[in-house]
Chain A
């Protein structure tokens, strides 16, 4: 993925389907909606493909044995674009649901109306909420290994978390950093076995299990991490220059708070057609209350929502 670029097209004030967020769910919905002849605008604030762009390699999306996340993102986007999906690089500030009206207000103040809205805003990385964390963001504490990994070339770093993202990050960082210490609260990792096996084989990945971060310490930059063993309650210090936090995610559902039903963690509740309790307002992908958050389920959400919308509202 040496050179990438994005498309340019003037946007209109009204679409059949208007999607907030541009990850796999949105792109999946766009493909199905376009093939049904509906006009589609995807409003993405960062980059089409969403979190795919943060994943170095993807090994579990059918049809691709091993592909770079950014490359898969690009291909999905090209697929949606080739069918006439329009894209806009902007943030959605507000969702409007008023009688029959469905619209989004963008960060430049513009309002775009649509027959059907889809929320595909995904999730944000969860913070640890321990002392020193927010003060040291950008000074050693990071939530994006693909973005910031190279600043720690030949240095010692840590990864907090034990899921797929954390172990993927550890594997990626182990090729750049001198050592990677995985700090995880349980006695076993949660990541899928294939990732665990790879990580256990890397000589420069170490594990600090049954341990939690108590504090990040450093004046101008991160100097050490105070870690507590949850079994013995003993604390120890880990001297690392960088820490990558991957302990899960929180839904970006603020846009629809007070408009649609959310669960206790803020995920949007939908029916089996991905429609919320508000007609013509759908939620797809990771932002939705669901059991499996994977690329394949995000794409499927998009397809299901688009088929339902096309059959019922057009």
Chain B
């Protein structure tokens, strides 16, 4: 049975037709079903999504069969979704865990953002500040699918990654990775951790997010 309803598929088809510009490469990394509860489901929803529009190019990779690829892209957990632009450049946008519930809209908006090479958030001044970051930064945003505040926090982190390739931005579905969530003391979402040294809870407005990001980068 398809995961996306006929109505949703129709809506997405129209949305993609109107908004997709360049092709987007979607890489999904999976593991054996007994190692990864949501891998099959994640793979299926992405297959349905890529079937809707020819500009969405999906490739599925098994972490045990393609260890080199896993190393190259620094994939740490499964399921993992990576977005690459039309030139095959890694945007450093990552989803760990299934992007379900409210996070499905994040994935759709990210695909459109990458296709247009246009971040969802930030004005010119904020973009310049984000571009000025010249050391690697890793933003992890812990979420749950039922959290309505979470997509904004994830999209902001992903937008930053799209602007500056020194930035890797990960959505982490907290329920699927309980040990990691516990290690970072996650009990309210969205919970953002930058470079392991800086954290904040809640979906911040754009200017505050940029300030937090700069603060974190300077801490290192």
Instruction: Specify the chain A residue showing the minimal Cβ separation from B11.
Output: A5
In the complex, the answer to whether A46 meets B203 with C-beta atoms within 8 Å is yes
- Please give the distance in Å from B171's CB to the nearest CB on chain A: 15
Of the candidate stretches B68-76, B101-109, B211-219, the one touching chain A is: B101-109
Determine the distance from Cα of A49 to Cα of B148 in the docked complex, in whole angstroms: 10
Does A131 belong to the interface (CB within 8 Å)?
A: no
- Please give the distance in Å from B23's CB to the nearest CB on chain A: 18
In the complex, the answer to whether A7 meets B104 with C-beta atoms within 8 Å is no
In the complex, the answer to whether A3 meets B4 with C-beta atoms within 8 Å is yes
Does B220 belong to the interface (CB within 8 Å)?
A: no
Does A89 belong to the interface (CB within 8 Å)?
A: yes
Known: A137-B188, A137-B201, A139-B187. A3 touches B122 (CB 8 A): no
Mark A101-116 against chain B: 1 for CB-CB distance below 8 A, else 0: 0000001111000000
Q: Which of A2, A70, A108 contacts B3 (CB 8 A)?
A: A2
Determine the distance from Cα of A149 to Cα of B147 in the docked complex, in whole angstroms: 10
- Please give the distance in Å from B147's CB to the nearest CB on chain A: 4
Residues of chain A in range 138-166 having any CB-CB distance to chain B below 8 Å = 138-142, 144, 146-152
Does B206 belong to the interface (CB within 8 Å)?
A: yes
Q: Which of A1, A2, A46, A221 contacts B152 (CB 8 A)?
A: A46
In the complex, the answer to whether B205 meets A107 with C-beta atoms within 8 Å is yes
In the complex, the answer to whether A147 meets B146 with C-beta atoms within 8 Å is yes
In the complex, the answer to whether B147 meets A144 with C-beta atoms within 8 Å is yes
Of the candidate stretches B12-20, B29-37, B57-65, B84-92, the one touching chain A is: B12-20
In the complex, the answer to whether B147 meets A5 with C-beta atoms within 8 Å is no
Does B139 belong to the interface (CB within 8 Å)?
A: no
Instruction: Specify the chain B residue showing the minimal Cβ separation from A221.
Output: B185
Known: A4-B105, A45-B152. A220 touches B185 (CB 8 A): yes
Does A198 belong to the interface (CB within 8 Å)?
A: no
Interface size on B, as a range, is: 35 or more
In the complex, the answer to whether A148 meets B187 with C-beta atoms within 8 Å is yes
Give the residues in chain A near B105, CB-CB below 8 Å: 4-6
Known: A2-B101, A3-B8, A8-B18. A46 touches B148 (CB 8 A): yes
Determine the distance from Cα of A13 to Cα of B207 in the docked complex, in whole angstroms: 22
Give the residues in chain B near A141, CB-CB below 8 Å: 188
Determine the distance from Cα of A54 to Cα of B188 in the docked complex, in whole angstroms: 14
Does B56 belong to the interface (CB within 8 Å)?
A: no
Q: Which of A109, A138, A146, A147 contacts B123 (CB 8 A)?
A: A109
Q: Which of B100, B109, B120, B188 contacts A147 (CB 8 A)?
A: B188
Does B97 belong to the interface (CB within 8 Å)?
A: no
Instruction: Specify the chain B residue showing the minimal Cβ separation from A7.
Output: B15
Does B79 belong to the interface (CB within 8 Å)?
A: no
Does B163 belong to the interface (CB within 8 Å)?
A: no
Q: Which of B4, B19, B122 contacts A108 (CB 8 A)?
A: B122
Known: A53-B148, A147-B144. A108 touches B191 (CB 8 A): no
Instruction: Specify the chain B residue showing the minimal Cβ separation from A51.
Output: B148
In the complex, the answer to whether A150 meets B185 with C-beta atoms within 8 Å is no
Known: A45-B152, A146-B147. A151 touches B15 (CB 8 A): no
Residues of chain A in range 41-83 having any CB-CB distance to chain B below 8 Å = 45-47, 49, 53-54, 70
Known: A2-B101, A89-B152. A151 touches B147 (CB 8 A): no
Known: A5-B108, A89-B152, A91-B205. A221 touches B144 (CB 8 A): no
Most chain B beta carbons < 10 A, residue from A1, A3, A221: A3
- Please give the distance in Å from B179's CB to the nearest CB on chain A: 13
- Please give the distance in Å from A147's CB to the nearest CB on chain B: 4
Does B186 belong to the interface (CB within 8 Å)?
A: yes
In the complex, the answer to whether A221 meets B101 with C-beta atoms within 8 Å is no
Give the residues in chain B near A5, CB-CB below 8 Å: 8, 11-12, 15, 104-105, 108-109
- Please give the distance in Å from A89's CB to the nearest CB on chain B: 7
Instruction: Specify the chain B residue showing the minimal Cβ separation from A50.
Output: B148
Give the residues in chain B near A146, CB-CB below 8 Å: 146-147
In the complex, the answer to whether A148 meets B188 with C-beta atoms within 8 Å is yes
A contacts, CB < 8 Å to B: 1-8, 45-47, 49, 53-54, 70, 89, 91, 107-110, 137-142, 144, 146-152, 220-221, 242
A-B pairs, 6 with minimum CB distance:
A138-B201, A53-B148, A147-B147, A5-B105, A138-B188, A3-B104
A-B contact pairs, 18 of them (CB 8 A): A3-B101, A4-B104, A5-B104, A5-B108, A6-B105, A46-B148, A47-B151, A54-B148, A91-B205, A108-B122, A109-B123, A137-B201, A144-B149, A148-B187, A148-B189, A151-B187, A221-B187, A242-B187
